[in-house]
Amino acid sequence: MENVRMLLVDDEADFLSAIIKRLNHRGYDVHGAAGGDEALELLQRFEIDVVVMDVKMPGRDGLSLLQEIKDRWPLVEVIMLTGHASVESGIRGMELGAFDYLMKPAKLDELLQKVRQAVERKRLRER
């Protein structure tokens, strides 16, 4: 899919850099943020189609960040990443406007399929 602009938000630095590298290699334009405040700064600076973010982060958690993103950038789609113990958080995220959620660790192909679906929905809503 051409010109997909993503923001990946996760406090695990090794995970963040590895996924960004793999997505860039596949032609995606990806920015990374280690937390909610940095994510909001990047959303202000760059046009983003899809945010992929961890639910559990120190400081601002993924659910409060999701609410702010949907308030300020309602067309940006959000995919939540959640651990086995917090499936309820993923479901709650969808109730708050997230496109979908994936269990960590998510397979890259599964993540990319969700991203493509989210971008299609965003582009339809923009028309």
Show the domains of the chain with their CATH numbers: 5-126 (3.40.50.2300)
> What pLDDT shows up at residue 2?
63
- pLDDT over threshold 90, residue 109: yes
User: Can you tell me whether residue 81 is helix, strand or coil?
Assistant: strand
Looking at the chain, the whole-number percentage of residues with pLDDT higher than 90 is 68
Q: Are 98 and 79 in contact (CB under 8 A)?
A: yes
Looking at the chain, the whole-number percentage of residues with pLDDT higher than 70 is 96
- pLDDT over threshold 90, residue 32: yes
**How does pLDDT run across 51-89, given as a tens digit for each residue?**
999 988 888 888 899 999 999 999 999 999 987 656 777
User: Can you tell me whether residue 98 is helix, strand or coil?
Assistant: coil
Tokens of 10: 């996760």
User: Whole-angstrom Cα distance, residue 115 to residue 118?
Assistant: 5
Its pTM stands at: 0.92
- Angle among Cα 32, 125, 109 to the nearest 5 degrees reads 45
User: Can you tell me whether residue 1 is helix, strand or coil?
Assistant: coil
